[in-house]
């Protein structure tokens, strides 16, 4: 069963990153970009672990429902949508091959499907960021690009390129990024009740939010020399 404490940790770390009222002079005025990069890094591993646990739970629950003869084609469709959000493209294609509704009625084929799908690992979408842009998954690139624009980071880039980056302008950009991220998080339906978990829709958007901020921080790094 998924450890909801990991989820609480992820939410707390996101909230920490989004504290736009925090003064950099009181935390790390020497390198605020590195400070925020570190905050993002704190979220990544717990989020990855949580994603795997949620996938494992979903697989077990689906096959348990199937074995109790309580599943139907809509149940399968929901499960396929979850897998589409959690697995890599290649793993999803292989899993889909085993998830034909008629085929699942045969106990041997159902067992084969379980044995193939149960060990699958959740795809850490943030690994896509380590690839050259042309090799990144199209769905991932669309999610991050949409979030990047939704946060107004494309406009921030233009402002960044317009004038030399001073320490004061950097603090303004970073505070704005944290404010925009907080505003974006407000649209998430974060779990509010005990036992609630992130939905398959939210998790990739949390990963996308992290990636969008990483991209902005990297681009702000393109002018390392700053005046006071």
Residue 179: band (very low, low, confident or very high) from pLDDT cuts 50, 70, 90: very high
The owner of tokens 């990483």 is 214
- Would you list the domain boundaries of the chain? 4-220
**8-19 residues labelled b (16+ CB within 10 A) or e (exposed):** ebbbebbeebbe
pLDDT of residue 192: 56
Instruction: Give residue-wise pLDDT tens across range 94-109.
Output: 999 999 999 999 999 9
CA distances from 89 to 24, 84, 98, 138, 151 (A): 40, 8, 15, 10, 27
Instruction: Give residue-wise pLDDT tens across range 188-223.
Output: 766 656 667 788 888 889 999 999 999 999 999 875
The pTM score is 0.86
Read off the tokens for 103: 């085929």
Lowest mean pLDDT among 74-83, 95-104, 165-174: 165-174
């Amino acid at each position: 069963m998924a450890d909801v404490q990991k989820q609480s940790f992820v939410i707390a770390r996101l909230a920490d990153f989004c504290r736009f009222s925090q003064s950099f002079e009181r935390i790390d005025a020497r390198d605020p970009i590195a400070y925020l990069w570190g905050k993002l890094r704190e979220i990544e591993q717990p989020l990855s672990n949580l994603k795997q646990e949620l996938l494992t739970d979903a697989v077990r629950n689906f096959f348990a429902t199937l074995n109790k003869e309580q599943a139907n084609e809509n149940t399968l469709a929901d499960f396929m949508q979850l897998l589409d959000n959690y697995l890599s493209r290649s793993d999803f294609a292989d899993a889909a091959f085993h998830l034909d509704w008629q085929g699942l009625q045969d106990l041997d084929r159902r067992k084969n499907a379980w044995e193939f799908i149960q060990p699958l690992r959740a795809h850490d979408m943030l690994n896509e960021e380590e690839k050259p842009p042309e090799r990144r998954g199209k769905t991932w690139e669309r999610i991050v690009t949409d979030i990047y624009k939704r946060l107004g980071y494309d406009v921030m880039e233009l402002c960044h390129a317009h004038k030399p980056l001073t320490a004061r302008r950097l603090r303004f950009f970073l505070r704005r990024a944290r404010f925009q991220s907080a505003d974006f998080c407000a649209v998430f339906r974060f779990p509010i009740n005990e036992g609630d978990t992130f939905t398959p829709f939210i998790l990739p958007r949390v990963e996308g939010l992290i990636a969008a901020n990483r991209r902005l921080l990297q681009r702000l790094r393109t002018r390392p020399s700053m005046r006071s």
